Amino acid sequence: MKLEVTLTSTRGLHARLAAKIVSLAHKYQSTVEVVYEHTVIDAKSLLGLLSLAIPSGENLQIITEGDDAEDVMRELQKLLSKEDN
């Protein structure tokens, strides 16, 4: 599954939000990747996500694959759509 999301967190992709993404991704067996400016990062990697340095208002793509791909996609969409993470 692929989904394009606008990062609405007022601080962009900061350490606490990245940690929440990693924690959520680890709850599922599916592979989860975040794509930003042609860079693909495993969403289960904190350092990888932080290296993207995505500012607020930017679009990113989430790609999930596996048996529970829809579930993890839905949870990530909820998390990333919150403005105050």
Rounded Cα gap, residues 14 and 7, in angstroms: 11
The number of C-alpha atoms within 13 Å of 85 and in the hemisphere containing its C-beta is: 24
Rounded Cα gap, residues 27 and 53, in angstroms: 24
Contact 6, 38 (CB under 8 A): no
**Residue located via tokens 């599954």:** 1
14 is catalytic: yes
Catalytic residue among 11, 14, 20, 44: 14
Annotated active-site positions, please? Answer: 14
